[in-house]
Amino acid sequence: MSDVTARVRKIVVEHLGVEEANVVESASFIDDLGADSLDTVELVMAFEEEFGIEIPDDSAENIQTFGDAVEFIAGATAAS
């Protein structure tokens, strides 16, 4: 889990250009981290690539916060 958290955080920091300290579990990509809707699509693309998973559109829509992303990816990678 901590490995996933660190890798997801790195992607978010790089893609959105935000401070690492702001990427906390409850941080909303759009409301807190300044992402626009297209950024969230690109983040999901980057997660898919980094972790070699596929995130279906309806799951992607539910990934609103950093915590949501970590939780989904940890689940998806544990399953595979």
Partner 1 sequence: MFDLTGKAALITGASGGIGGAIARALHAAGASVGLSGTRVEPLEALASELGERAFVLPCNLGDAEAVAALPKQAAAEMGSVDILVNNAGITRDQLFLRMSDEEWDQVLQVNLTSAMRLSKAVLRGMMKARWGRIVNIGSVVGSTGNPGQGNYAAAKAGLVGMSKSLAYEVASRGVTVNVVAPGFIATAMTEKLTDDQKTSILGQIPAGRMGEAGEIGAAVLYLASPEAAYVTGATLHVNGGMAMF
| Active-site residue set | 36
Q: Which of 21, 38, 78, 79 binds partner 1 (CB under 8 A)?
A: 38
Are 76 and 53 a contacting pair, CB within 8 Å? yes
- What are φ and ψ of residue 27, in 5° steps? -70, 120
* 50 touches partner 1 (CB under 8 A): no
CB of 22 to partner 1, least distance (A): 22
In the complex with partner 1, which residue's Cβ is closer, 5 or 51? 51
* 45 touches partner 1 (CB under 8 A): yes
- What are φ and ψ of residue 25, in 5° steps? -50, -40
